[in-house]
Amino acid sequence: MESSLPTEPRPAVRRHHGIVRFTHWLNAVVLIGMIASGLQIYTAFPHFGQKGAVLPVPNPLDSSHGHMVPMWARLGGWLAGGLNWHFALAWPFVITGVIYLVYLGVSGEWRYLLFRPSDVRPALEMQLYYLRLRKEHPAQGKHNALQKGAYTFIVVLGAISVASGFAVYKPVQFGWLTTVFGGYELARYWHFIAVWLFIAFIAVHVVMVLLVDPASLRAIFTGWYRGRFPSHG
């Protein structure tokens, strides 16, 4: 176990397969479009619950509070346009997600990304390092424990967003799924919450890449990583 980080960059190593890079960037573009078109759909009825019986759930964008989603953050122009964009982008989002998951399963890469109970302590140590409360960088493999937690979280979030989306889109055909989410109105709310979790993840992801390990940005373009941190455990 190393006591400190090397000052010289490590030799370039292969980190990301072409499938990973393709699905990463395609899903990034598609996800932004889905978020924007989803916000356009939301503005058609900026409440949760039936008319006259709004659900008492946290919703800072409820129009009764005087808050509205700005035009620049929406895609579609009106309800029908937002729906068309959302449904058109939904299938590429699902298909690329499935391709990515199949690749993880076939290649065995899931072993490096799955967050396990044993990763809890290393994740806390890594968080202390990021907060500058720990001087030495914790030992890690291809990905550190916090990264594994983030990747596992985003896959689960993606599954929840797709499932809740189908529950809202086809509440009769997928009645059992709608019931799992607590009914149509709550399924719509969980879908809405997923949007903000995606936005938070993207913001934190971009900030961490730029501030902590900029070399990883180049790696997701080229597939090759050359930086201070280890790439294989």
Predicted pLDDT of residue 225: 81
DSSP single-letter state for residue 51: T
Residue 50 belongs to a domain = no
Residue 217 belongs to a domain = yes
DSSP single-letter state for residue 181: T
**Which three-class secondary structure state does DSSP give residue 68?**
coil
d(CA 158, CA 219): 23
Predicted pLDDT of residue 16: 83
Residue 5 belongs to a domain = no
Residue 7 belongs to a domain = no
CATH of residue 160's domain is 1.20.950.20
Predicted pLDDT of residue 219: 86
Q: Element (H or E) spanning 208, and its range? A: helix 184-212
d(CA 166, CA 169): 5
Predicted pLDDT of residue 106: 95
Predicted pLDDT of residue 172: 92
Report the number of distinct structural domains present in the chain.
Answer: 1
Predicted pLDDT of residue 168: 93
**Per-residue tens of pLDDT for the chain, all 233 residues:** 444 444 455 677 887 889 999 999 999 999 999 999 999 999 888 888 777 677 777 777 776 666 678 899 999 999 999 999 999 999 999 999 999 999 999 999 898 889 999 889 988 988 888 888 887 877 777 778 888 998 899 999 999 999 999 999 999 999 999 999 999 989 999 999 998 899 999 998 898 888 877 888 888 888 888 766 554 44
DSSP single-letter state for residue 152: H
Residue with tokens 């808050």: 67
Q: Element (H or E) spanning 189, and its range? A: helix 184-212
C-alpha distances (whole Å) from 157 to each of 67, 163, 199 are 26, 10, 12
Residue 64 belongs to a domain = no
Largest separation between any pair of C-alpha atoms in the chain:
64
3-state secondary structure 95-158: HHHHHHHHHHHHHCCHHHHCCCHHHHHHHHHHHHHHCCCCCCCCCCCCCCHHHHHHHHHHHHHH
Predicted pLDDT of residue 66: 61
Residue 2 belongs to a domain = no
Residue 41 belongs to a domain = yes
Structural domain boundaries enclosing 205 = 15-45+69-225
Predicted pLDDT of residue 98: 94
Residue 60 belongs to a domain = no
CA dihedral 145, 150, 176, 180 (to 10 degrees): 80
